[in-house]
Amino acid sequence: MSEEEYPKRLLKALERLEKEGEKVVYVFSAMPRRYMDERSAAMARVGALDEKKMSSWVVVTEENLVFIRTGLVRNRVDKFPLDKIEDVEYVDEFQDNTLKIRVSGGAENVRFYDDVDGIRFYQHMKFRDRGQE
């Protein structure tokens, strides 16, 4: 998806990250379990819909993994340093596109709206330390 297709609220969050010195590497429409409600879970089950209506994103910067939940009043942003991520694994590879991200002893399941995005994220996270992709 090109940058002009992102919702305005996400673009503002990305601009804020860049002002903080973060260099954005990837942006994926994805739903961390902590942000999931019935409506968003249903949208994730049917796959990628209209990107303008998505409200949850996973952003990979050069230094952090960032969960962004866009809102009407303000965005919720959770950052995790990449060096604190212990592992990324598929929860159920053939049922849905959900990955488990282990961070400093905790874990978060993240469902990607697009299969290809989930694969790209997995490969980036698995091979980033080795300088491969």
DSSP helix/strand/coil, 50? coil
Tell me the CATH class for 3-130: mainly beta
At 8-28, the pLDDT tens digits run 889 999 999 999 999 999 999
CA distance 12 to 45: 27
Structure token pair of residue 23 = 């260099």
pLDDT of residue 55: 79
Beta strands 24-32 and 98-103, pairing class: unpaired
Q: Kindly tell me the sign of the dihedral angle through the C-alpha atoms of 42, 68, 87, 103.
A: negative
pLDDT tens for residues 24-50?
999 998 888 877 767 666 665 665 455
Structure tokens at 16: 């804020």
Task: Write out the two tokens for 61.
Answer: 């910067």
Higher pLDDT, 55 or 58: 58
pTM over 0.85: no
